[in-house]
Structure 1
Amino acid sequence: MFIVRDIFYLEFGQFRSVKELLEEYEEKHLPDIPGSRILTDFTGDSYRLIMEQPFASLEAYEKALQEELGTPEWQEWYVKFKRFVKSSHREILRQIK
């Protein structure tokens, strides 16, 4: 099992706008993958948005990327979202227990 964690560092003071976009994202674009979750910081670095999704294999992750990120609808949403992002990074973790 692999956990893919996309971590976005948001522009200061923009969380409310991002939250609205996330609600749109959840309705239209977020694949219904059991165990997925969207998190925000409580301590540590501020204005972080973390999206986590579990995948049985790296192949399953690659397939999900191709199916979702290539759609015009997702591309249109992402243009709106990325203007609120200062930087981001991705972690792919292997669950051992």
Structure 2
Amino acid sequence: MPPPERLAISRREFIEAMRARGIGVGVHYPAIHLFSAYRALGYREGQFPNAEAVGRRTVTLPLFPAMELEDVDRVVSAANDILGGARVP
């Protein structure tokens, strides 16, 4: 996979492309300091820019122990196809 800055596709576009192939993708891992419990301790947006940047790009793929190998292959192939065609020249 190319690094995120070399992709010409947004996270939203990636999610939509995966869903168009029948693969559910979620967004579950924002930067932890942005959760209300940590904000109550005084943490604010901008304090950890690297964590925030990663949180804005991260998606959750459907991978779990009971998943069939052919389904794992389908998820990985779809992600490779979508991201491989979304590279910045």
Question: How would you bin the TM-score normalised by the shorter chain?
Answer: 0.3 to 0.5
Larger Rg: 2
- Kindly indicate whether structure 1 or structure 2 has the higher relative contact order, using CA contacts under 8 Å at least 6 residues apart: 1
Give the TM-score, by structure 2 length.
0.41
More strand by share: 1
TM-score w.r.t. structure 1 length?
0.39
Whose helix fraction is larger, Structure 1's or Structure 2's? 2
